[in-house]
Amino acid sequence: MLHQLKSYRSLAREIVYKIFDMREGEGVRSLWMWLYIFCIISALMIVKPMVNALFLSEFGAERLPQAFILVAVMAAWVAVLYSNLLKTSNLHTLIIWTLYISMALFLLFWFLLTLNWMERWALYILYVAVAIFAVITSSQFWIMANVIFNAREAKRLFGFIGSGAIAGGIFGGYLTNFLAPIVGSQNLIFIFLFLLGACLFIINRLWKTSSEGEDRVQIRERNGFFKKLENPLNIILASRHLTLIAALIWISVLVGKLVEYQYSAIASEQIVDPDQLTAFFGFWLSNLSIATLLIQLFFTPRIVGMFGVGTSLFFLPAGILIGTFAIFVFPELWAAVLIKLFDGSLKNSLNKSGMELLALPIAADIRAQAKSFIDVFVDSFATGISGILLLLLTGVLNASTRYVSFLSLIFIGLWLYLITLSRKEYIRSFRLKIESHEQPAQPAIDLSNESILGGILKVLIDGEERQVLETLRMIRHLYDTRFLPGLYSLLHSSSVLVLLEVLKQLNSYTNKNFSNDVETLILHENLDVRTEALTYLAARTPNFSHDILPVYLEQTNYRIRSAALLYAARQSRDSGVASDIIKLKHHVQVELVNAQKTKDQQEVITMKRCCARAIGEAHLKELYPFLHYLLQDTEKQVVASAIIGSGLTREKEFGPALIQLLRDRELWSFSQTALASFGADIVDMLGSHLKNPYVDRQARHNIPKVLAGIELQYSVDTLLDNLDIEDRDIRNQIISALYQLRLRAPQLRYNDPVIIKLVFKEANEYFNTLALLYTQMKACDLTSPGADKRHLLYESREKLVKALEKRLDRKIERIFHLLGLRYPPSDIENAYAGIRSTDTELRANTIEFLDNLLDGDLKKVVIPLAETTVVEDVISKTLQRFGYNLTDEVESMKHLLESDDVTLKRHALSLIEHLEESRYLPLVAKALNDPNSEIHNKAQELIKKFGL
């Protein structure tokens, strides 16, 4: 029997968790929060109709504006007192004392009402007390909810928790409607006191339960994080986000009070008896609560999930707008009920959840104190303003109730505008919350500061190569003779990169001459250093090209001769003088002929390299056949220089040869740079080779990298046209190239439908891989590492699991690269870093940010995908939700061996080998037909091992 009860309990728990999307560790907290707000709102729904009825019966609706103003004045004082108490008391203690004081105060009111000692002025105090009680207790509840739940938990659970408030409204309202005529309005206070007593018990239980989450509740709250906060008004004004929240609450309360006035005025005109009026208010408050509950349970989660937090806030003002027109045209009781229906049902469901979620990007400590101030002071300030406006309109101008609608229309227009601003600010705040801690921009160098100058010189003289290069790049465009000692010292550096940068910078100091030191560098082993040294000397030697250069070109030392030849090529290109070009052609031809006769291999390589670059530098078209010839040289160094020379010509005739050289691992970086220098002229050729399956696979693999270096719309279009290539690795390179183009050239346009379609395709493959991983992880849990064969089996399975995990990582990276083509790359990069973070709070905030950034269709796929990287217990539910069957191991192996991933196939066959089960034999036999020789050979080996 006990076992059966446990089974029923487990089933009920599973159903509740499924309906309300709860996860492990959230159920108990959520239930206590639900009960707490249920009791608070039930108590409020008992005293509020009672007080409203007593007030309206005694004074009529014309005194409501004065009551609103009094609420504002008293609440301002309470807000200041409450903010100071927050700094000196923890939240738990403050809630307890709020409940005790409320119970004592309302017990006093009961005595006064029963003994008929209640003066007319005391009704104002009672009205104010109920208004402030409603604001403070509600605010305390939502502050506590924001402390206990993070952003993602809040978005899932606030709908369920908020339904407790609505259920309390239904219960309290109908109870008031039933009991008010029987026991009298004032005796309802005893039920109010009983419910507050229940709240005391619940709050203590809730705090004890929440203490198990020590990292969230105790650190934030019990250590008193409010104590360090400054004036709440300063906090609000310093934050655009908080200012907009305050403005939204102000405008919504103001419009709500105008609605309340119209509703109360019309109702009190037609219902005179106080007890009947109390019953009417209680009845309709309960009806509103039922409507609110239906909206909260069945519409709020879907609307917030589908449209986001910002858009969900438009529903309340839109509903009130409809009711406002109804009252203006038909100022009857049914119109008053209609506008109250829109106001009450949407305000306490969809709008309430939206407003609470709107505050989530703000830091918890700031949010807590600012929210208390906003809920108490701003709410009451809006109430006061509404009172003044109503007093002017109905008292001074003597306007009827229907003309209050004009006032409402003005403020509803402002309300809609503020929601638009808040929606943008909400996303911006989450963006700031998750963005990477980027390096600050390099500040301008203050050379008047001697310590800064001394630091630069110290790095130049004593620094390591990386530090020196960074400093040289930093001062590249700063002309200051005080850098010269450091630059001069670097002429003796062993680093080629440092020497090249120093020689270029020294060349700009035209009034200084370091020729004696630079001259030694024309014998340096590096051709570029020698050529740059010769360029420096030429700039400081009169008639260098006429007198000195010819001598260098005839030098017996090939190092000097090669540098002179490359310098001459650059000079002839810049000058365009025909005689210079003719002489250069002659020298290049002579050097190439002599290279065939020279026995010194190093001299042969150097002169061939020099000639290849000279042909390209000077665009010597008659010598292009030599360049084609050098592209086929047996020495890689020569081919690399020929590639550089070919790129300098920008002639398409070299395109096919350069594309084929992309297959060579040692040369592909040179080929990529050379091909990219062709620009738009080469894109067509690159596209046709990329699409052609008969072109070398490695060459095709590197073509997207070339296109990524050509920052043109044509490159983007070509890459997009080739996204249907079947080869997975090449397709991945295309996605990577598109993303690089997006980062470098954000002005380029991308075909959104193609990108979205590919995101769905990649997501589908991600979930398929996740299902396979899930199957292997479950099997891995059942396989413990033992001795001999068991150990080998465990090892094989572990390797397969790691391979699947790596594939998932690559998949999600590609999905985010694709999203970066549709949305701002900086947002997507920060989001990707966020979901990969080990910080739970940051990951939750990141998913919430994506939930608001992405469009509807993408959101439905990407958010569940992102959540599987964050919470392991949602993997199974997510796979089932999207219809991915959790297969057995045979089915899992079948999928692995049919995939296009050679690594996964290899690990799958290795696992089959150690499982030693004949049921896998058909899968192994099928693998014999695999086009990959490694997989084919392994399958053959296993067939023999199985004895076939």
The 3-class secondary structure across 633-665, one letter per residue, is CCCHHHHHHHHHHHHHHCCHHHHHHHHHHHHCC
Which band of pLDDT confidence, cut at 50, 70 and 90, is reported for residue 908?
Answer: confident
Q: Which amino acid is at 333?
A: L
pLDDT of residue 224: 47
Assess whether 759 and 744 both reside in one domain.
no
CA distance 366 to 225: 9
Distances (CA, A) of 418 to 91, 236, 249: 31, 16, 10
Which band of pLDDT confidence, cut at 50, 70 and 90, is reported for residue 412?
Answer: very high
Residue ending a domain, among 418, 434, 450, is 434
Q: Which of 156, 617, 567, 242 is nearest to 425 (CA)?
A: 242
Assess whether 850 and 701 both reside in one domain.
no
**CATH code of the domain covering residue 718:** 1.25.10.10
% of the chain surpassing 70 pLDDT = 84
Q: What is the pLDDT of residues 513-533, one digit of tens each?
A: 888 888 889 899 999 999 999
- The verdict on residue 77 lying in a domain is yes
pLDDT of residue 278: 64
Assess whether 522 and 558 both reside in one domain.
yes
CA distance 358 to 346: 16
Q: Which of 250, 246, 257 is nearest to 387 (CA)?
A: 257
Q: Quick check: 871 pLDDT over 50?
A: no
Q: Which of 560, 565, 491, 487 is nearest to 530 (CA)?
A: 560
pLDDT of residue 139: 77
**CATH code of the domain covering residue 194:** 1.20.1250.20
Q: Which domain holds residue 415?
A: 28-434
Q: What is the pLDDT of residues 239-297, one digit of tens each?
A: 888 899 889 989 998 998 888 888 888 877 777 676 676 667 667 766 766 776 677 66
pLDDT of residue 15: 62
Helix (H, G, I), strand (E, B) or coil at 226: coil
Beta-carbon contacts of residue 782 (< 8 Å; ≥ 6 apart): none
Which band of pLDDT confidence, cut at 50, 70 and 90, is reported for residue 222?
Answer: very low
Phi, psi for 327 (deg, rounded to 5): -65, -40
- The verdict on residue 475 lying in a domain is no
- The verdict on residue 5 lying in a domain is no
- The verdict on residue 355 lying in a domain is yes
Q: What is the pLDDT of residues 677-694, one digit of tens each?
A: 999 999 999 999 999 999
- The verdict on residue 557 lying in a domain is yes
Segment of 311-325, 445-459, 561-575 carrying the highest mean pLDDT: 311-325
Assess whether 59 and 196 both reside in one domain.
yes
Phi, psi for 99 (deg, rounded to 5): -70, -40
- The verdict on residue 103 lying in a domain is yes
pLDDT of residue 74: 80
pLDDT of residue 772: 84
Tokens of 161: 């928790």
Assess whether 385 and 513 both reside in one domain.
no
pLDDT of residue 546: 81
Q: What is the pLDDT of residues 735-781, one digit of tens each?
A: 999 999 998 888 899 888 889 899 998 888 888 888 888 888 777 65
- The verdict on residue 444 lying in a domain is no
Segment of 303-312, 823-832, 860-869 carrying the highest mean pLDDT: 823-832
| Torsion sign over Cα 156, 157, 162, 164 | positive
Q: Which of 432, 430, 452, 435 is nearest to 443 (CA)?
A: 452
Which band of pLDDT confidence, cut at 50, 70 and 90, is reported for residue 382?
Answer: confident
Terminal alpha carbon distance of the chain: 56
Q: Which amino acid is at 429?
A: S
Which band of pLDDT confidence, cut at 50, 70 and 90, is reported for residue 659?
Answer: very high
Length of the chain equals 948
Q: Quick check: 337 pLDDT over 70?
A: yes
Residue ending a domain, among 414, 434, 454, is 434
Assess whether 700 and 759 both reside in one domain.
no
Return the CA Rg of the chain: 39
Which band of pLDDT confidence, cut at 50, 70 and 90, is reported for residue 21?
Answer: low
Q: Which amino acid is at 590?
A: V
Q: Quick check: 44 pLDDT over 60?
A: yes
- Kindly report the average pLDDT of the chain as a whole number: 81
% of the chain surpassing 90 pLDDT = 17
Q: Quick check: 441 pLDDT over 60?
A: no
Q: Which long-range contacts (CB under 8 A, 24 or more apart) does 406-414 make?
A: 406/328, 407/258, 408/255, 408/258, 408/259, 408/320, 408/324, 409/321, 409/324, 411/251, 411/254, 411/255, 411/258, 412/255, 412/317, 412/320, 412/321, 412/324, 414/251
pLDDT of residue 738: 94
Residue ending a domain, among 748, 783, 802, is 748
pLDDT of residue 123: 78
Q: Quick check: 886 pLDDT over 60?
A: no
Q: Which amino acid is at 432?
A: L
Q: Which of 765, 790, 769 is nearest to 780 (CA)?
A: 790
Assess whether 659 and 783 both reside in one domain.
no
608-637 average pLDDT score:
91
Other CB atoms within a 10 A radius of the CB of residue 599 amount to 6
Assess whether 108 and 157 both reside in one domain.
yes
Assess whether 82 and 219 both reside in one domain.
yes
Q: Which of 391, 402, 373 is nearest to 239 (CA)?
A: 373
- Estimate to the nearest angstrom the gap between the alpha carbon of 574 and the chain centroid: 50
- The verdict on residue 480 lying in a domain is no
pLDDT of residue 578: 52
Which band of pLDDT confidence, cut at 50, 70 and 90, is reported for residue 837?
Answer: confident
Assess whether 589 and 718 both reside in one domain.
yes
H helix intervals, 359-397: 364-373, 379-390
pLDDT of residue 440: 45
Structural domains counted in the chain: 3
Assess whether 727 and 780 both reside in one domain.
no
442-461 average pLDDT score:
68
Helix (H, G, I), strand (E, B) or coil at 886: coil
Q: Which residue has the higher pLDDT, 879 or 628?
A: 628
Global pTM value: 0.68
H helix intervals, 598-727: 601-618, 624-630, 636-649, 655-660, 668-676, 683-691, 697-708, 713-721
Assess whether 205 and 126 both reside in one domain.
yes
Q: Quick check: 414 pLDDT over 90?
A: yes
pLDDT of residue 710: 93
Distances (CA, A) of 759 to 240, 373, 764: 35, 44, 9
Q: Quick check: 540 pLDDT over 90?
A: no
133 in Cβ contact with 375 (< 8 Å): no
Q: Quick check: 878 pLDDT over 70?
A: no
443 in Cβ contact with 449 (< 8 Å): no
pLDDT of residue 660: 93
pLDDT of residue 696: 92
Distances (CA, A) of 373 to 147, 153, 898: 17, 25, 62
pLDDT of residue 736: 93
320 in Cβ contact with 408 (< 8 Å): yes
